[in-house]
């Protein structure tokens, strides 16, 4: 079987050090002459700013960020967002009814039934064995603690319903 011909080597080049200019640079637009600087919120005559003054301005409809906020109040994007909000409200997407809590109540009922059955059985074994027979006594207490902690963990802290 003849030797396979050696594949031709790729020519090695350095990485380009400059970027390819695709768009020509343009100067930024000149600032608008009619734009007024934002004077900020008005200070009351007393010189102190009080929460009551801020609330009174809010009730009167004074914009919080100053006079330039007035022209940003209504634009095309806000109109589209308002129309979308109205469509979603009409479809009933924001309405909530009574919540179904039957799964959680069933889980709590199973928890208390199992907790009572396991601890009653373990407690009975521990009392009957007594401290005189240490192996069944210790195993019953350990089983009660292990099963109680696992059951409590699954019921209250593990928020998955993989077994139902």
- Residue 60 and residue 80 in one domain: yes
Q: What is the CA radius of gyration of the chain?
A: 37
- Residue 145 and residue 106 in one domain: yes
pLDDT of residue 2: 63
Task: From 34, 66, 91, give the residue that closes a domain.
Answer: 91
- Residue 86 and residue 118 in one domain: no
Inside any domain, residue 19:
no
Give the residue from 161, 163, 117, 162 showing the smallest Cα distance to 143: 117
Model confidence at 158, in pLDDT bands (50, 70, 90)? confident
Q: What is the pLDDT of residues 31-80, one digit of tens each?
A: 666 666 666 666 556 567 778 877 887 777 766 655 555 455 677 888 89
Q: Which domain holds residue 149?
A: 102-157
- Residue 87 and residue 111 in one domain: no
Cβ atoms of 148 and 119 within 8 Å: the answer is yes
- Residue 87 and residue 133 in one domain: no
Task: Report how many domains make up the chain.
Answer: 2
Tell me which of 164 and 40 has the higher pLDDT.
40
């Amino acid at each position: 079987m003849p030797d396979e011909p050696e594949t031709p080597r790729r020519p090695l080049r350095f990485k380009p050090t400059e970027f390819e200019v695709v768009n020509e640079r343009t100067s930024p637009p000149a600032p608008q002459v009619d734009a007024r600087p934002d004077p900020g919120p008005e200070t009351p005559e007393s010189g102190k700013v009080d929460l009551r003054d801020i609330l009174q301005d809010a009730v009167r409809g004074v914009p919080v960020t100053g006079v330039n906020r007035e022209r940003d109040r209504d634009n095309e994007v806000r109109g589209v967002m308002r129309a979308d909000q109205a469509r979603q409200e009409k479809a009933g997407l924001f309405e909530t009814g009574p919540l179904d809590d039957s799964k959680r109540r069933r889980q709590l009922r199973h928890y208390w039934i199992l907790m009572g059955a396991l601890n009653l059985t373990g407690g009975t074994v521990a009392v009957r064995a007594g401290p005189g027979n240490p192996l069944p006594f210790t195993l019953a207490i350990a089983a009660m603690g292990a099963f109680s902690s696992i059951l409590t963990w699954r019921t209250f802290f593990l928020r998955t319903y993989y077994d139902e």
